[in-house]
Amino acid sequence: SNDLSEQAAAEYLKKLNKEFGEKANLATNAEWDYGSNITPETLEKKLNVSAEIAKWKKNKWVETIKYPWKTYKDENIKRQFKFATILGMAALPEDKFKRLDEVTSKMESIYSTAKICDFHNKSNCNLSLEPEITEILRKSRDPEELKHIWVEWHKASGGKCKKLFEEYVQISNEGAKLNNMTDLAELWNFDFESDAFEKDILELWSQVKPLYLQMHAYMRKKLWDKYGENVLSRTGPIPAHLMGNMWAQTWSNLFDFTAPYPGLESLDVTDELIKQNYTALKMFKVAENFFTSLNLSAMPPLFWERSIIEKPEGKELVCHASAWDFYNGEDFRIKMCTRVEMEDLLTIHHEMGHIQYFLQYKDQPYLYKEGANSGFHEAVGDVIFLSAATTKHLQRLGLLKGQNSNDDKQELNSLFQRALDKVSFLPFGLLMDLYRWNIFKGKTLPATYNRDWWLLREKYQGVEPPVDRTEQDFDPAAKYHIVASVPYVRYFVSFIIQFQFHRSLCIEAGEFDPNNPSSKPLHECSIYQSAKAGNLLGNMLKLGSSKPWPDAMEVLTGQRKMDGTALLQFFQPLHDWLKEQNEKTGEKIGWEPSKRNFG
């Protein structure tokens, strides 16, 4: 119709949201069928469905932009048009769209099906990232074995994706320009609705960097004590293969020999989970119980019927954990190759946080079925786990006996364990997209893809490769989000704001009082069974992306800005202890330049 009035536009949006939801359901089903069973047939189906829908979107877009939406009065209508007029990669010509989809799918399947040979048994070359390689990195304390696993994985995954990645950058930057964006970085950061976003992010990093440097110096000393000068220098960057994680992004697997008080009952409850015959399902039920204790939603029937929570036999699938909204108000799933370990108990809470957000905003129009920004979506489950991982709650679950009730020491160990999860992650969460933004902006070119990666890893994370690198290597693509084209600064944002959310929910639950110095410290707070806290969180989640994220944050915390202060307050006792400890041992804070060749 040629009636472009605000009333007509409102009607148009109702229809558009309904149609978008139906198409999104089709696309999600095709993506699920491929992600849970990687075959040429499921790939073909996925590529065809997504090409069809891209064509449909483009035709819709031509109609949508006819409406003079910027002149309308209603903020809600204007906001929905603002989202509906961003076409994304569907703006590309059909053949380029299809090629981009092929290239990204090919990189994701190389990553998801990559196998390497075992260090001890050279004839066993069937080790996948999950569970085999992840398990070895978690448990092995043999630097030679760790080096082998690191080098082989980076060859089998990243090394095979360099050409594909160059093509991916080329086409997707073209797609961004067709959206009137300068480059893909601008399109990726669109949902943060801020023209100072990169500056704000670097400001947050400068707030928390001193704490990271103390953790880094302390961990390097512990690694040096254990492995000696031949494996790592006491004053240089830390070799990346020693951290218990393929990307050195979280260090919780090193708890046993790095905790401030190693002799106490271990807070890594993995052994207890196994002893108590926990299954993946039981871990999921424990996580669900935390959400329902807050008067939030239980997982719906289809969740339990259709989720994949253990790695199936006899087929290839994308094991990287993910949460799925099928946009029909009843079908929500997690796909995860769960291992019975504490690390996966965190990931289960993380993924279930996504599902909870889907459930809370399921009555919003399609265009608002998103997080307030993508960092909010990554924070929900982690906020819950900050409570679930307290000694108080682990004891309540019977996973901690609390034998040696030397509380102060045990509480410091607990805070240290949280820092191994959270503080260690901060520079990695930042550099993953600093690296890609530079590529999309043309500041990093293919000739120095690998060198520039390691320069950032050294500068922000203080890690170095265990062996020299060349430009035949392409180490960034050894990380899922790089090959699957998933933006990453959302996790850095999440690791900052989740402490703002946790602090506000603890106050709401009466578990923390910032004005009462004798109140329990923030890191000992658990909001378990607080319907008050749950209602406050639910009120924010229900908004979806219907309001700019500062409004959503204000609903929950009374603040309108991301702010590292809550994280620093949470870790204050540990920060003080680390400074004292590093002074005692005369640690150098920071690191000398790496002696490795970066490519």
Nearer to Zn ion, 148 or 320 (CB): 320
Q: Which does 288 bind (CB under 5 to 8 A by kind): Zn ion, ligand SLC, none?
A: none
- Give the whole-angstrom CA distance, residue 50 versus residue 468: 41
Please tell me whether residue 347 binds ligand SLC under the rule CB under 6 A: yes
Amino acid 257 reads: F
Could you please report the per-residue DSSP string of 474-514?
Answer: -GGGGSHHHHTT---HHHHHHHHHHHHHHHHHHHHTTS--T
Q: Which does 511 bind (CB under 5 to 8 A by kind): Zn ion, ligand SLC, none?
A: none
Q: How far is the CB of 322 from ligand SLC (least distance, A)?
A: 6
- Give the residue closest to Zn ion by C-beta: 378
Nearer to Zn ion, 378 or 587 (CB): 378
Q: How far is the CB of 34 from ligand SLC (least distance, A)?
A: 17
Residues in the chain: 599
Please tell me whether residue 356 binds ligand SLC under the rule CB under 6 A: no
Catalytic residue among 154, 241, 354, 481: 481
Please tell me whether residue 370 binds Zn ion under the rule CB under 5 A: no
Pairing, β 238-239 against β 463-464: parallel
Residues 35-54 that bind ligand SLC (CB under 6 A): none
- Give the whole-angstrom CA distance, residue 89 versus residue 102: 13
> How buried is 361 (Cβ within 10 angstroms: 0-12 exposed, 13-18 middle, 19+ buried)?
buried
Q: Which does 258 bind (CB under 5 to 8 A by kind): ligand SLC, Zn ion, none?
A: none
Please tell me whether residue 189 binds ligand SLC under the rule CB under 6 A: no
Nearer to Zn ion, 272 or 378 (CB): 378
Tell which one of 491, 499, 512, 591 touches ligand SLC (CB under 6 A).
Answer: 491
Please tell me whether residue 322 binds ligand SLC under the rule CB under 6 A: yes
- Decide if 152 is catalytic: no
- Site size toward ligand SLC (CB under 6 A) is 5
Question: Max alpha carbon distance in the chain (Å)?
Answer: 76
Q: Count CB-CB contacts under 10 A for residue 514.
A: 12
- Per-residue mark of binding to ligand SLC, 447-486 (x: CB under 6 A): ----------------------------------------
Q: Count CB-CB contacts under 10 A for residue 428.
A: 23
Amino acid 245 reads: N
In order of 37, 114, 271, 298, the CA distances from 339 in angstroms are 19, 19, 12, 23
Q: Count CB-CB contacts under 10 A for residue 175.
A: 21
Tell which one of 378, 464, 475, 563 touches Zn ion (CB under 5 A).
Answer: 378
- Give the whole-angstrom CA distance, residue 307 versus residue 95: 33
H helix or E strand, kind and range, residue 464: strand 463-464
Amino acid 240 reads: A
With tokens 């558009």, the residue in question is: 16
Tell which one of 321, 367, 497, 552 touches ligand SLC (CB under 6 A).
Answer: 321
In order of 55, 94, 95, 98, the CA distances from 48 in angstroms are 11, 11, 12, 8
Residues 534-573 that bind Zn ion (CB under 5 A): none
Q: How far is the CB of 472 from ligand SLC (least distance, A)?
A: 25
Q: How far is the CB of 498 from Zn ion (least distance, A)?
A: 12
Please tell me whether residue 424 binds ligand SLC under the rule CB under 6 A: no
Please tell me whether residue 350 binds ligand SLC under the rule CB under 6 A: yes
**Two tokens at 407?**
């509380």
Q: How far is the CB of 353 from Zn ion (least distance, A)?
A: 8
Judged by CB under 5 A, the stretch of 222-230, 303-311, 378-386, 558-566 that binds Zn ion is 378-386
| Chain CA centroid to CA 146, Å | 24
Catalytic residue among 272, 351, 411, 458: 351
- Per-residue mark of binding to ligand SLC, 269-288 (x: CB under 6 A): --------------------
Contacts of 59 (CB under 8 A, 6+ apart): none
Cα radius of gyration rounded to whole Å, the chain: 24
- Decide if 481 is catalytic: yes
Q: How far is the CB of 232 from Zn ion (least distance, A)?
A: 32
Q: How far is the CB of 379 from ligand SLC (least distance, A)?
A: 10
- Per-residue mark of binding to Zn ion, 330-369 (x: CB under 5 A): ----------------------------------------
Nearer to Zn ion, 352 or 477 (CB): 352
In order of 18, 20, 121, 238, 266, the CA distances from 9 in angstroms are 14, 16, 66, 57, 60
Q: How far is the CB of 336 from Zn ion (least distance, A)?
A: 11
In the complex, the residues that contact ligand SLC under the rule CB under 6 A are 321-322, 347, 350, 491
**Active site members:** 351, 481
